[in-house]
Amino acid sequence: MYYRYPVFSYELMKTLVLGLGNELYGDDAVGIHVVRKLREDFEKPEKADKWPEDMDLEECSLSGLALLEVIVDYKNLVIIDTIKKEKPLTGKIHLLEKKDLRHIPGPSPHYVSIPQSLELGKKLGLKVPSKIKIIAVEAKNQYNLGEGLTEEMTEAMPTIVKEVKKVLQEFA
């Protein structure tokens, strides 16, 4: 379940780093694990990385229209999620922008894609992110039931986290 405290200022909540996935499906949870690692890095007092005041880190297993509730009132959005490829190379990163996203039909006719959710949010007059970056990570084991990341994905984590931090520098 997702819950966020009410936002009173659009500028206060500038950037959302959103780790998507399902922990019950192995590597599909890479986005969630990346957000946990970022949180850990930013919370260590001895670390040079400091948590930017205008950034939130969220773990999320929602999809479709439900994501709209999570991303409203943010100016910038960074999404970390797995991407389906025919012959995936676990841990390979693809840096995408909003324009790179297609209106992909989901598992049901009731599914709404991220671009469709953003479009609907705009039409409803909601403040949806204007700048979006997606860190899409290839994974072989994203549909097999089982908790925890594979060894390959665990080895790729430092590179993925580094890429997210690099993207966040663009928003600073």
pLDDT of res. 45: 65
Q: Can you give the CATH number for the domain in which 112 is found? A: 3.40.50.1450
Comparing C-alpha atoms, which of 141, 22, 20, 161 is closest to residue 81? 20
Q: Contact at 8 Å (CB) between 132 and 97?
A: yes
Q: Is residue 3 part of a domain?
A: no
Count the Cβ atoms, other than its own, within 10 Å of residue 89.
Answer: 11
Comparing C-alpha atoms, which of 149, 32, 147 is closest to residue 90? 149
Question: pTM for the complete prediction?
Answer: 0.86
Q: Is residue 7 part of a domain?
A: no
Q: Is residue 1 part of a domain?
A: no
DSSP H or E segment with residue 163: helix 151-171
25 has which bridge partners?
A: 146
Q: Is residue 134 part of a domain?
A: yes
Which residue's entry shows tokens 């659009």?
A: 10
Q: What share of the chain is helix, strand, coil (3-state, %, to 5)?
A: 35, 20, 45
Q: Is residue 8 part of a domain?
A: no
Domain total of the chain: 1
Q: Is residue 2 part of a domain?
A: no
- pLDDT score of 51 more than 70: no
Structural domain for 133, as ranges: 15-171
17/59 Cα distance (integer angstroms): 9
Each residue of 115-160: pLDDT tens digit? 888 888 999 999 999 999 999 999 987 878 888 999 999 999 999 9
Tell me the torsion sign for CA atoms 31, 50, 13, 167. Answer: negative
pLDDT of res. 135: 97
Q: In Å, what is the CA distance from 66 to each residue of 3, 10, 12, 63, 72? A: 12, 20, 22, 6, 11
Each residue of 6-27: pLDDT tens digit? 444 444 469 999 999 999 999 9
